[in-house]
Each structure stands twice: as structure tokens, then as C-alpha cells.
Amino acid sequence: MKASRVIICPSDAMVKTLLHRYPFLYSKVFITIPNLADGCRPSVREYSLWGFENPPHFSLGYMGGLSPWQCFEETCKIVLEVQKQLSDTWFLVLTQQKENAEAILTGIGVKQYRICSTSTEKAPRYTASFDLGFMLRRQHIVNWVACPMKWLEYWQSNVPVVTTRAVEIVSGAPGADLNCIVDVDDIHGAAKNIIAWASSTEDERNKNRTQVACVVQDNWTWGLGKIAIEDVLTAVETNLSHCRYMWIDRIRANLT
């Protein structure tokens, strides 16, 4: 980075962190280009993909691998606590590691669940059936500065997320108040927050679903990304210094 003139980061949090830790980078040009959504995702909820003839009353979902940092075991414990209080809750798991997921689910005691695997291209058709999608992360500098694509994939499929405040770009995004915020180490508290979210009316849930998808369309697609790339080219071709092209500023400009 010291040898570079322009530094591209996946989040504003990474820009701020780098400048705080390495003050000698202050003269560099920093440009944020996060993960961005691409194309339209299905809004139809195809419950038949999960083997349901009729929609479940309330569905919690998980999409991804089972690495410890993805907090799948903690997710299952929260789901179990929710099911103890809302017995008609189903847990829908989309993963390529079906056998491992089954072992964890049965070991923890989750009652009503379905596990599927599919291609990346077809995944949105499955996640669209979630009322809430889990994306738990612990407090860590890597998580703080990251821009997880999973969050945008949920939102673009009209699914608010159950998440923590560990990822700055997610907790600070427009529409973040539509998510269900929990503490990954407080199982009972997390379940309580989810149950409170589930107590909202169907109209309120559908409104939230529509809003998160609109936020992605407005602020996290390649319409703004192309402008950011143009800024990269301008910065490379000119002798700029001390410039900060933060993504939050693009969102604010886009809103006006």
C-alpha cells in the first residue's frame, strides 16, 4: 500500500481502519468499492422447493457453509430456543454440507428443519422462502471491515437478516433498522428479539421485505459501482492525493 497511489477497499470501515493504523498512508487516494448486487432476484416464495404444500407459519433460514466463524452452531441454538416458544417455526438450511448440517441440527435438538443444496444461480429461489435469514458474526476486526455478499443476497431476495453489530457496513447501511439485531452469545435474548419480530403482522413483514430489496436496488448495485470505477481511473490518471471516495457519500448523493 505504501507503494501505491490509489487504494481500493471493500468498505468505508476498512478505509478508516487503515488510516488509523497507518498514518503514513494519509496522502493516498482511497476508494471504497464494496460487494454489489447484480440483476433481479425472484420475489415469488416457492415453498415447494423445500417440500411444503402449504407455507409454514414462520420460517427462519440459513445460507452458507459451516465454518466456525459463520456461527452455524450458535444459529441452531437460537432456532431451538425460538421453536420452544413458537412451535410452528421451521428452520430452512441451504448448504452444500448437508450431512454435517444434519449432525449439528440433531445434536442440538432442532425439531422442524429442512436441508437443501443447490447451485449459486438458483440459491435466491430458495432463500426467498425465508422470513428472516441468519448472518451471525462475532466482534472481530476482520468482520468489522468486511462487506459480506450474503447480506446483499438475503436482502435482494426480500429477506431481512438476523445479525449482530459486528459488520460496520451492514449495521450502518440504510435499511439496517429492518433487520433483527441480536447478541450471538445471548441465546435467550436473541430468541426474544426474533419472536418480537415474528409478532408483526403479515402486512408489516411484507413491507419490510419489499423495503430491503429496494434498498439494494437503490444503493448496492453496479449503477453506483460503475461511477466508482470511473473514479479509480481518474485517480490513476491524475495526480490526486488525500482524496476519499467513501461509499456512504455515494449513497447520500444518490438519495438527494
pLDDT at 106 over 90: yes
**CA quadruple 200, 204, 206, 209: dihedral positive or negative?**
negative
Confidence of residue 240 (pLDDT cuts 50, 70, 90): confident
Indicate the average pLDDT of the chain.
94
Q: What does the pLDDT look like over 11-33, one tens digit per residue?
A: 999 999 999 999 999 999 999 99
How many Cβ atoms sit within 10 Å of the Cβ of residue 111? 14
| Residue with grid cell 429496494, as numbered in its chain | 214
**CA quadruple 218, 220, 225, 226: dihedral positive or negative?**
negative
**Secondary structure, 3-state, the chain:** CCCCCEEEECCHHHHHHHHHHCHHHCCCEEEECCCCECCCCCCCCCHHHHCCCCCCCEEEEEECCCCHHHCHHHHHHHHHHHHHHCCCEEEEEECCCHHHHHHHHHHHCCCCEEEECCCCCCHHHHHCCCCEEEECCCCCHHHHHCCCHHHHHHHHCCCCEEECCCCHHHHCCCCHHHCEECCCCCHHHHHHHHHHHHCCCHHHHHHHHHHHHHHHHHHCEHHHHHHHHHHHHHHHHCCCCCCEECHHHHHHHHHC
Please report the pLDDT score of residue 157 as a whole number. Answer: 93
Whether pTM > 0.85 for this model: the answer is yes
Average pLDDT over residues 196-212: 92
pLDDT at 39 over 90: no
Q: Which domains, ranges and CATH numbers included, belong to the chain?
A: 6-36+221-255 (no CATH), 47-218 (3.40.50.2000)
pLDDT at 127 over 70: yes
pLDDT at 42 over 80: no
Q: What does the pLDDT look like over 148-179, one tens digit per residue?
A: 999 999 999 999 999 999 999 999 999 999 99
pLDDT at 102 over 90: yes
